[in-house]
Amino acid sequence: MNSPLYVILWPAAGCLFLVAGVVCMFAKRWVFSGSLLLTAVLVLGSWQYDRSHETITKLRFFLCGHTLIKANQQRPELSVYHVKVCGLELGDWEGNLRAKDIQLTKNPGSVVVAELGKRPLTGTYLKSIADVNN
C-alpha cells in the first residue's frame, strides 16, 4: 500500500491550488491566479504521471514474517498486515498490505513471490506477495 501522503494529500493539494486559482481569477488577481493555476497543473500532472508510469517486478524473496495490524471483522479482505520479506542482493522490504494482496499458505522462512511496484517519483514499494506456485 502506498502512503496516505501520496494517495490523498498530493491530489488534495493540487485541487486546493486549482480552487484557489479560480477564486483569485474571479477576484481579478490575474498574476497570482495564473501562478496558482500553473502550480495546480504541475502538482496534478506529476501525480498522474507518477500513477500512470508504474512498473511491476515479480521477484522471489524469503518471507521473514507477517503480523496483523488492523483487523476488519465485517470485511476480512480489508484487514491490514505488516509484511517483511528478505532478499540476498536486494535487501529487506517491508510494508503494510491488505489481506486481499496476500495469498500465502506457507510459514515464515519459506520462499515467496513478491510484487514490487516502482513509480518514477515516489519510489519502490511492496505491492503483494504470494506462494511460489501461484
pLDDT in tens, 10-48: 889 999 999 999 999 898 888 998 999 999 999 998 888
Is pLDDT at 116 greater than 80 in this prediction?
yes
- 105 DSSP 8-state letter: -
Residue 71: its pLDDT value, please? 86
Instruction: Write b or e for each residue in 10-34: b if 16 or more Cβ atoms lie within 10 A of its Cβ, otherwise e.
Output: beeebeebbebbeebeeeeeeeebe
Sign of the CA dihedral with 123 first, then 126, 132, and 134 last: negative
Name the band, by pLDDT with cuts 50, 70 and 90, for residue 100: confident
In angstroms, rounded to a whole number, what is the distance separating the alpha carbons of residues 82 and 73?
Answer: 18
